[in-house]
Amino acid sequence: MEEHLITEEPVEHVIVLRLNRPARRNALTKQLVLDLAVKLEAAASNPNVRAVIIAGDERAFCAGSDIHEMNERGFAAILDEERLSAWRSIERFSKPLIAAVRGFALGAGNELAMACDFIVSGENAQFGQPEVKIGGLAGDGGSQRLPRLIGRQAAAKMLLTGAPVSAREALALGLVAELVPDDEVLKRAVSLAEMIARNAPLSVAVTKRLIQQTDERPLSDGLRQEREALLNVFQSADRVEGMNAFAEKRPPNWSGK
C-alpha cells in the first residue's frame, strides 16, 4: 500500500510532511491525522528539526475529511477522542509550522492550513469551509480560527455560504501570508523555513508560544508574559552566542538553550 504521509528533508533543519492520497485529493482519514500528530511529536523532540512544512500535491493541499470514512463511522467519527487528541497535538506543535498550499484547501484541509503558523499559497489555490452544503459544519477549529484570522464578517460569509475564496482573496483577507506562482510554492516555503531555522531556536520557540496565546488572553496578560519571556531569553546561552557572533561577524552556533 502506498504511504499516505511522506517525510522529506529538503535542507538541513527543515522537514516536509507531504500528504499523499492523490486519488482522494489528500482527504484526511483518522489514521492520517494520527500519523501527522506522531510525526510532529517526533519533530518536536528532535533538536535537529527547527521548522516543518505540511504540503500536498499540485491538485490539492487537502480537500477535507474523508467523507466515505465519516459516513461509515457515523457518530464515532465525531466523538473519537483519539482523533481529537491528535488534532490538539497538531495545533500545539511547538516549532514553526508552515502550510504550502496548492489547489484545494477545503473543510478540514483549510482547518489544517489554519492550524499552521502561516500559509504560503499558489496563485490557483482555493480555500473554503463547505461543510454546510452537506449538512455539517466546520468542526476541526474552522468556526473559531477563521473569524480570528480574517474577521467576523468575512468568516461568516465563508462559513455560512460554504463558497470558497480564491488565493488572491485569501491574501487580501489575511488568511494567506504569501502568494507565489504554483510551481514555486514549496520552494518558497522551504526558503522561509530555512530563514527561520537560521534564527535562535529558543527565541523562535518562545515567540511562537507568545503568538499562540494572543487569542486566549487579554492584552495586559500577554504583555506581562512577553516581558517575562524576554527576561528568560535574555539570560539564555543562545542570547550570549548571538551577541558574540554579531560582534565577531560570524554565523551563530545555536544550542537551543
Cα gap 19→227, rounded to integer Å: 39
Which helix (H) or strand (E) segment is 128 a member of? strand 126-128
149-199: pLDDT as tens digits: 999 999 999 999 999 999 999 999 999 999 999 999 999 999 999 999 999
56-74: pLDDT as tens digits: 999 999 999 988 887 777 6
Q: Topology of 201-248 in CATH?
A: Lyase 2-enoyl-coa Hydratase; Chain  A, domain 2 (1.10.12)
Whether the CB-CB separation of 61 and 18 falls below 8 Å is answered with no
Cα gap 19→172, rounded to integer Å: 27
Pick the CATH number of 5-197 from 3.90.1200.10, 3.90.226.10, 1.10.240.10, 3.90.260.10: 3.90.226.10
Q: Which residue spans of the chain are classified as CATH 3.90.226.10? A: 5-197
The per-residue pLDDT for 70 is 75
C-alpha cell at 136: 455539517
pLDDT along the chain (257 residues), means of 10: 88 98 95 96 97 98 89 69 93 97 98 98 98 89 94 96 98 98 98 98 95 83 79 84 86 89
The per-residue pLDDT for 139 is 86
Q: Which residue spans of the chain are classified as CATH 1.10.12? A: 201-248
Largest pairwise CA distance in the chain: 63
Tell me the CA distances in angstroms from 130 to 40, 123, 146, 238, one per residue in order. Answer: 27, 20, 13, 45
Residues 6+ apart with CB under 8 A from 4: 19, 20, 21, 29, 31, 32, 35
The per-residue pLDDT for 73 is 74
